[in-house]
Structure 1
Amino acid sequence: MARFEELRWLNQPENFEICGNELYVRTNGQTDFWRETFYSFWRDSGHFAYQTVEGDFTAEATINGRYETLYDQAGLMARLSETHWVKAGIEYSDGQSYFSVVVTNDTSDWSMLRIPTSTSGLRLRLTRHGEAIRVQYFDVESQLWQIVRLAYLPRSAAIDVGVMCCSPEREGFEVVFSDFTVGPAIERKLHD
């Protein structure tokens, strides 16, 4: 299990606390990760607590947030640079929480999926296999990992991976990350 106190910050929030295997964050105002597409702006101000990993990996965390305002978001991130990254997690849009994935290779794309939510949070997983990033969530009802996205991110010797949160429209979005792990990549097999 990764220790939150050993992670480094990109855009450290003013308010955060580590309690055992939990990281509590209260976001600064107008924070986001986005590059250009549709909205015509670049933002690299979101909060990202990370460690650097060499080669392929699997990262998991449970995310539980108070999603109330448009674009409140929290999840996992894999980042090569300001222009190449993937973020995946829960994002609030149109009065509902969605599973959201943004892949940025110079410019950002965005996909959303409505999934069942739980008061105990959502378990997420990112896996890197070479140039591919696999995005999954754990479906409590079926007790299976569900694949949401298989995305391209350029190969590199090392990559930063960790938890991220943003609140583009406000400050004070509250989120708790727990049971964060980073280890060897799971099996490449996609289909049963």
Structure 2
Amino acid sequence: MPETCIISWSDGTWVHPPAAVQSNSEGNGALEVTVAEGSDAWRHTAYGFVHDSAPALLAPLAVGEAMEVTFHAAWEGEFDQAGLFVRIDAEHWAKTGVEYADGHLGLGAVVTAGKSDWSVGQVDQWREHEITVRVSRWADSLVVRARAADEPWRLVRVAPFDGDAAVFAGPFAAAPTRAGLTVHFTRWERSAADTALH
């Protein structure tokens, strides 16, 4: 596999298509995704509800590979979110990226095996920047990193994940509380997985 391989937007398959999508084949080749109000992904924990409506554009992700997405948006609505979604099935998945909540932009991950958990830390200084999220798939885990612009990578999460399952991953966005969130995805890449945590 080449060191880095650009994934075409047309190579992905939508799980829960967005309200609107536009691909710009000129210039930076951005994918503009507008999501419906009420879209989200969560299972049970703390809130008691199950939401499985977040639009995600997915392509295969094998053990030993990494996937990255780069994006920016106007973060204004409570729980506006975008990043990278990694899916086995409706009960086994992870989403990682940024989410606007309680007046702050948070960087984190939700990992779900029947029930969801959520880890998050504030990155308000990232709000006006382009953000890149990277997930490396190891034999027993996902290793999540992220950065704003060309800053150094920041380790976000190491989470257990089934190495034997067929896994699909790619850009996602959701807007649980408002209509009109548009996320501009500017890059989608596959490469070799990171080989170390530190």
Is TM more than 0.5 here?
Answer: yes
Pair 1:12-2:21 in alignment? no
The alpha-carbon deviation at position 54 of structure 1 amounts to 3.0
Distance 1:100 1:53 in 2: 20
- What's 1:158 paired with? 166
* Residue 146 (structure 1) aligns with: 154
2:7 aligned residue: 2
Which aligned segments of 4 or more residues in structure 1 are displaced greater than 6 angstroms? none
Q: Percent identical across equivalent pairs?
A: 29
1:62 aligns with 2:70: yes
Take 1:4 and 1:175, find their aligned partners in 2: how far apart are those partners? Answer: 14
Find the partner of 1:101 among 106, 109, 130: 109
Match of 2:145 in 1: 136
Distance 1:182 1:30 in 2: 30
Paired residue for 2:47?
39
Q: Deviations over 1:76-120 (max 9, x none)?
A: 011111111110111000111111210001100011111231534
Q: Distance in 1 between matches of 2:18 and 2:91?
A: 22
If each structure's strand is expressed as a fraction of its own residues, which one has the higher value?
1
TM-score by length of 2: 0.90
SS at 1:49's partner residue? strand
CA drift of 1:10 comes to: 0.4
Q: CA RMSD in A?
A: 1.5
Aligned residue pair count: 189
TM-score by length of 1: 0.93
Partner of 1:119: 128
Structure 1, unaligned runs of 5 or more: none
- How many angstroms apart in 2 are the aligned matches of 1:33 and 1:114? 20
